[in-house]
Structure 1
Amino acid sequence: MENGSLTLIILNGKGAGNDELREAISTLREEGFDIAVRVTFESGDALRYVEEAIALGAATVVAGGGDGTINEVATALAQREPRDYPVLGILPLGTANDFATSAGIPEEMEAALRLALRGKATKIDLARVNQDRYFINMATGGFGTRITTETPEKLKSALGGVSYFIHGLMRMDQLKADSCKIEGPDFSWQGDALVIGIGNGRQAGGGQRLCPQALINDGLLTLSVVTSQELLTTLLHSLTSDDENPNVVTTSLPWLTIRSPNEMTFNLDGEPLSGTEFRIEVMPKALACRLPPQCELLA
């Protein structure tokens, strides 16, 4: 890629005042990189900016923010014809940065920006839910969803990713399992699920490794269902060990359906989706993304 190819950075409004990023952009512009910046203010902005990037012939679109921002940009790209796609780059500027962390994206802004502009483009999978919603990292249901959708903003900014886990422990008294049936190719499970993770990536909720074996370019989703009432023990086990856990049902599959007699809420990279029936399928090699050479998420 030539330095002169346009890069459009789509920046979550919360990250617009980041001095380290400002300096990184200045440094790379001085080296000859053509970088334009757009800041999101409301829902729909990311889609408009992706369309602008395509109209301008941008080689790279960089999502600057947390998992939700990356999701918005990736979703906007996935809705285009593949020949139009710019490559996706990532700047980790959110609270938890679960996808960026597990992908090994540098936290330091200049290093992350250099990777976003010059890294090798690799085709990665995306997941689609009920035909019109997407996630690049993970869909979580059950107790984990209630943590991430209800964690107070002040706690998030004070403690970062750990806040989800601490807030979860504070809410143990409100623990309720979701009764559901999960089916997919050669797989069927029915019962009460405390936590459901459907992973393209490996971790959610600020570092909870719900799907520690997931890969983002294998054409499969990893399903993890926590069935045990011993949730604290199980969660601590999943945070500290990649070993098999008897209280967790796991499998990998290209698609699955989840049906429940009661309304369930799934958190798609931070965005809630409620209903009683979900069809979740992988879209293999849906977009190209610039990732580190030794990215653990790649097969």
Structure 2
Amino acid sequence: MATTSPTETTGERVVVLNPVSGAGDHPETVREHAEDYGYDVLETEEEGDAIELTRDAIGDGATEIAAAGGDGTLNGVVRGVVEAEALDDVTVGVLPCGTGNDFAANVGVTGIEQGFEVLEAGERRRIDLGFADGDPFVNSCVGGLTAESSAETSPALKDQFGTFAYVVETLRAIPSFDGIRLTARLSDADADAPVWSGTAIAVLIGNGRRFPPSGSTQANMEDGRFDVTLVHGTGSVDLMETAAVERLLGRESDQTSRYTVSGLEIEVQEADPVSFSLDGEIIERHELSVRNEPRALTFAVGERYEPIPGGEE
């Protein structure tokens, strides 16, 4: 429980609360802390509400907005900030209440109470923001088997298995997934533009996170670049071989190609569009343009956040 004295709300500090994120047992805790710290609480009721509530709150003068939910709720808040053209005027924070809370962990926030403490006194950093065909994402944009499985993972399965639900649904999807034929043109200001073409099991584009075979998953969020991993192959055998090498042995596989770039263009050579997951929000495309806007978003981060993860140069 927070120890600060009750503070009168002014509309400048807002929490956008998704009451059904994760196990759905967090709303009372969020509301209690919000009252202590002087935050108005705006509750979502249906998909898309986080965007509208954020946009309206900014119109009413909000300058600090925290997302209380999972990565999808945070994506909605960020999208609302973008739509309000308020990236230079608003600080965003996160109160982890979802199933995985992947991005929250990457910015050093591991609980609701600590999240409020970070909002109150934590460091503010300008972090990169990804855009896929103009739609923002803070953590990742993934296509292929991972996105297909994410789209099919039900709330009931998440309640039963937690973060393992995505793995369960992935294993279910393997027998019917044949890969995606695509071409990826990657670009960076300091390098030639490589082109990758073939059949991919997954396209993993990390802004707040990276996809290493082992070690920390936090990406450098302030370098203006994405960590891109292409997992190539044609089905379940290839996928399981890659998983065995990368997850069990913790070493690189010849079935992955990795790049660090500021943007990429993806063209899918399939009859049907492919699902891409932007922080858990699903879009479908035959073509996708992904770009990085360096240090576009002001974010409240915890002490464990690393501007340069692992001391990398």
TM-score (norm 1): 0.86
Q: Equivalents in 2 of 1:16, 1:175: separation in Å?
A: 28
Shift of 1:134: 1.8
Instruction: Give 1:216's aligned residue.
Output: 221
Residues 110-259 of structure 1: matches in 2 within 5 Å?
A: 110-131=113-134, 133-185=135-187, 186-202=193-209, 212=217, 214-228=219-233, 229-239=237-247, 243-259=251-267
Shift of 1:42: 2.3
Q: How many pairs were matched up? A: 291
Residue type matched to 1:247 in 2? Q
Aligned counterpart in structure 2 of residue 39 of structure 1, from 43, 60, 64: 43
Shift of 1:295: 1.0
Q: Equivalents in 1 of 2:164, 2:185: separation in Å?
A: 32
Change in CA separation of 1:154 and 1:252 when aligned onto 2, cut-off 3 Å: same
Q: Equivalents in 1 of 2:171, 2:53: separation in Å?
A: 39
Instruction: Give 1:272's aligned residue.
Output: 282
Instruction: Give 2:190's aligned residue.
Output: none
Shift of 1:21: 5.5
Q: Equivalents in 2 of 1:114, 1:59: separation in Å?
A: 17
Q: Equivalents in 1 of 2:159, 2:58: separation in Å?
A: 34
Q: Say whether residues 1:7 and 2:7 are aligned partners.
A: no
Residue type matched to 1:158 in 2? Q
Report the more deviating stretch, 89-98 or 73-82. Answer: 73-82
Contact 1:21 1:110 in 2 (8 A): no
Contact 1:183 1:189 in 2 (8 A): yes
Shift of 1:249: 0.4
Residue type matched to 1:290 in 2? A
Instruction: Give 2:303's aligned residue.
Output: 293
Q: Equivalents in 2 of 1:161, 1:227: separation in Å?
A: 24
Residue type matched to 2:78 in 1? A
Shift of 1:41: 1.1
Residue type matched to 1:115 in 2? V
SS of 2:79 mapped into structure 1: helix
SS of 2:61 mapped into structure 1: coil
Contact 1:199 1:223 in 2 (8 A): yes
Instruction: Give 1:283's aligned residue.
Output: 293
Change in CA separation of 1:278 and 1:268 when aligned onto 2, cut-off 3 Å: same
Change in CA separation of 1:23 and 1:278 when aligned onto 2, cut-off 3 Å: closer
TM-score (norm 2): 0.83
Instruction: Give 1:73's aligned residue.
Output: 77
Q: Equivalents in 2 of 1:11, 1:45: separation in Å?
A: 10
Shift of 1:24: 5.7
Q: Equivalents in 2 of 1:156, 1:17: separation in Å?
A: 8
Q: Equivalents in 2 of 1:138, 1:211: separation in Å?
A: 15
Change in CA separation of 1:67 and 1:213 when aligned onto 2, cut-off 3 Å: closer
SS of 2:222 mapped into structure 1: coil
Q: Equivalents in 2 of 1:89, 1:188: separation in Å?
A: 36
SS of 2:20 mapped into structure 1: helix
Contact 1:24 1:113 in 2 (8 A): no
Shift of 1:51: 2.9
Q: Equivalents in 1 of 2:250, 2:106: separation in Å?
A: 14
Shift of 1:17: 9.6
Contact 2:22 2:99 in 1 (8 A): no
**C-alpha RMSD over aligned residues:** 2.9
Deviations 1:199-222 (A, max 9, x none): 102269xx9989946322110011
